[in-house]
Structures are given as C-alpha cells and as structure tokens.
Amino acid sequence: MKRTINIKEGYLYIPIYTGQEHHLLSFYVKDENTEAEKVMEFKIPVDMSKEEEYYGDYYAEIPVWKYRGKTMIIEGEYPMIMGMRIQNRRKRRQFVTNRPRIHFTANRGWTNDPNGMVYKDGLYHLYFQYNPFDIRWENMSWGHAISKDMLHWAQLDTVMFPDEDGTMYSGCGLINERELLGFSKDTLLYYYTEAGGTNPWSQGKEFTQKIAYSDDMGETFQKISQPCIDTIYRENRDPKIFWHPETEAYIMVLWLKGNDFGIFRSTDLKNWDMTQELYLEDAWECPDLFLLTNAEGEKKWFFWSADGYYFPGDFDGYHFENNGERHKAYISKLPYAAQTFSGIEDRTISIPWLRLENDGRLYTSAYGIPTEFSYRVIRGRYFLLQRPVREFYEQLEPVDPWRIRKEAGNIFYENRDHTKAFVSSMELSRDHGDVFSWQINGSVATYNPHSGIFTLDGEKFQAGLDHRKLEIIVDDRILEIFFEDGLSFGTFALKEREIFFSMEEDQAEYIDFFEID
C-alpha cells in the first residue's frame, strides 16, 4: 500500500491499534527537483482486518515540520482505510488523565531507560527511550519532557528517531561549557548509542557511540553522522560523561560486554582514549560514576550499574579502583537504568525507569521519584543514601483532617479521585510487636524489623534490620518506601490505582500525613 501526502503542517498523526502484529512502514520525501529519499522507518501495529473504520486506540505523533512543502510517501503493508486516516495537521492537544501525579509517564506509548538528563536555565530535561507507536518495546527513539521541579513534567516533541544506522539507544546530555566541537557554550550536547542492526534499515551495521547537539534549549536535535567511538564489542552502549576538574578532562563510562565496563578520557569531546577496562561483579549496562559527600563533608567515588548495584572506590581520572564492596541501591526489581543529572553542581540527583507492566492504559512504564544521593559509613563500609529531592518536601501539604478517620484502633486515609499523591512519615513503635502491617491501594504490606523482611502481597524483600523511620509515597499504582532516611529503599506496584491507606494506630510512635498535587 502507498499513501502520498503533501506536507503542509508540522505533524503527522498515525492511528495505532495497540497489541496488533507489527508491520514495517517506510517514509520517503521528495519535491519537484529531487527523487524520493527514505527518511524514516517504523514497525507499527496494524489491524489488517479493518475495511471501513480505522480510528485506533490513539494517534502516534511524528514531527515533520522540516519536510513542509515536500511530498511524503508512506509505503508498507496496511489497509487502505488506515492510510486514509493518517493525518498531517497542526499539533494536537493531548488530554492527559488517569495517571500518577508526581511520577512522569508518557502521554502515549512505551518508555524505558531515562536518557540525556541535563539541567539548564531553570529547566530539567528528561529524555527517555521511547516507542510512540505501541505500548510495547520497539522503534527505540528519544522522547523528551521538561520540568521546573522534577515532579511535574510536560512532554515535548520526540527528538530522535531510528535511521539508516540503527535505533536510538541510551545516552547522556551535557552543557558545552568549554565551547568545544565548534559550538557555543549554550549548546547542549548528547552522546548516545546508535544501535546498528536493530532495525531492518540498518541490517549489517554495528553499535557505535555518536553525538547530537541542540542550539534551541534541547527542543530539537541535529545528529553528527561520524561516530566518536567505533565498535569495541558487539553491543557496547550507554555512554555517561562528566568533567573531571583534577585532571582537566571529560570522562566517559561505557558498558562493553557482560560485567565489563570501559573508562574513556577526552579533552575535546571528540577523540576518546580508553584508560581502563574493568570487571564489576553482577553489574550490567547503563553505567554511571559520581563523587558523593557525606554529612561530615568527606567524599567518596561510586560506580553505578543498571540494576542499582553500586561499588564504592577511588578514581584518579584514569582508573577506578573498587574497595571490595558491592551493594544494591534497591530492595526491589522495579527500578532500573537510573541516570543522574548533569548541569547540577552541588547535588547528585537520580531518576530510574520503573518497569511497570501495562494495566490497560495507553502508556507503559513510569519514572521514579527523583532522589538525591549521599552516603554513610557504617562499620567501615560505604552505603549510599537516597532521599526525595528537596523540591518534593517543599510541596508537601498536611492532609485535611476530614480525610483522616479513626475507627477501632485503626487509622484510615482515602482519596479515590486521583487528584493527589499521598505521603506518610512515621517512626515505628518498639512496643508494638514483631510485625507491622499496612493496607495500601488493595495491597497488604508488612515489615518485620527483627528479620528485616518487607513483604508486599506475600512477596518478600530484604529491607534491613531494625529500621524504625519510614517514609511512604503512594501515587496511583506506585509505592515507594524509604527506610532510615534512605539507607534502604524500595519501589513497588500496587494492585489498585485509587489511594487508600490504613494501619493500626499503635504501630507508630508518631505519624504524619501529607498530600502533594
């Protein structure tokens, strides 16, 4: 099937029936003086049974403003009625309802790893692995959202789509402060993995590390075609870059293969030399390397990987030496592939992808509450601390008393209209007994400080012994629990969306309830 459209407006809208078999659609552009050139290719779920109506579950959006005045040709296997429903029009307003209040979710489609996280001129930029064409993984692109507080996000145009060299895998962002690569200091730079061979268009090509840049505050990207690092191993990926002032160089950490990572140095952001290939037990992909400060003002380096394994050690600008410790930042498996922001000088702030299963809505997955990292030394060992960012606490409001009721020794909170997220801070009583329990959004949670076991609906997690201070965040289906000021932390999926919380009143020495909109 072939559909020809004269591009007059800035966006193309394609009807999507989620869950259908994927079919390959190729997009070409031409004008009066040129032959048709392929510019895009996507695997899109298509309902081939439709003959008279084709409205879809939603419309996927593709920015095509740079092709205005040209003719676009869409070829592939799809019913004629679907082709007729593809629209070229101005940007449509998307009504976003029925979703978490303070955890970012895409308007539509599938999301995974956070990418390119950078702070500039009062705005936090979150890019993310994105498939706008289905609620399943495919067509890895870079979506884009912005926020002033890291809690309330606005999704903008998708900035990078797959091309003839591969799909757009994970990477990082940074400000071009030293005016390198021939760009100004206000240019935003993005390093990412071009995953060759992961789409039909790029068959036979390999994974390389590439650069894109933006001169309009991150709203649109221009790709640099030449890789800055060629293939080392088949699927080497996920570059993360920072400036190391002591040795006056940029440092890149990169996943190579298995449990192996590379450390690279550059003074010009173009030419990179690998100074170390290191093995870290159980660590895999999405690396990060950062210097943290504890309450006493002491500093320590930490190497991070996707599952939340972290390794304290020393870094001299060339080599990272693990001090023999390996810890896990999460007690649960829901958070993954967290990345820290660049462009923030005095704080290390992380956001993970939350691997939520689709529950019937038109988007899949969410992102965790932003947490600020520090560390604590306990019996000579270095443990990461993570707590919600201060912007979170600045927006907490005490719960109106009418929302709280007490009955037969129990305390209840209920908010079923999706207008707020719920937060509770408490100190557990030492006189209550061995097991503490809560009912939260249709789920049952328990904690035994003597065994350290936390359970949710019967599934067990090791949270650590004798934790007494708890902070609980409930937002739609998402439950986050911080034990002992972030010494232990877990994120979980609840059974229901409507917020309901109850507990025995005598479980806590004190308890405070808050809401956040």
Known catalytic residues are 113
CA distance 488 to 23: 45
3-state SS assignment for residue 232: coil
Torsion angles phi and psi, residue 135, rounded to 5: -95, 10
Ranges assigned E (strand) in 183-221: 188-195, 207-214
Which pair of structure tokens corresponds to residue 202?
């790029």
Burial of 494-510, coded b for 16+ CB within 10 Å and e otherwise, reads beebebbbbbbeebbee
CA distance 14 to 109: 12
Instruction: Kindly state the greatest CA–CA separation across the chain.
Output: 83
CA distance 270 to 106: 33
Instruction: Write the secondary structure of 138-175 as one string of H (helix), E (strand) and C (coil).
Output: CCCEEEEEEECCCCCCEEEEEEECCECCEEEEEEEEEE
| Of 286, 236, 274, residue with least CA distance to 116 | 286
What's the sign of the alpha-carbon dihedral 457, 460, 462, 466? Answer: positive
Q: Are strands 469-475 and 459-462 parallel, antiparallel or unpaired?
A: unpaired
Instruction: Write the secondary structure of 69-86 as one string of H (helix), E (strand) and C (coil).
Output: CCEEEEEECCCHHHHHHC
Residue 135 and residue 19 in contact, taking contact as beta carbons nearer than 8 Å: yes
Torsion angles phi and psi, residue 496, rounded to 5: -125, 160
DSSP letters spanning 26-43: EEEEE-TTS--EEEEEEE
Residue matched to tokens 């070409």:
28
Instruction: Write the secondary structure of 420-452 as one string of H (helix), E (strand) and C (coil).
Output: CEEEEEEEECCCCCCCEEEEECCEEEEEECCCC
Residue 490 and residue 470 in contact, taking contact as beta carbons nearer than 8 Å: no
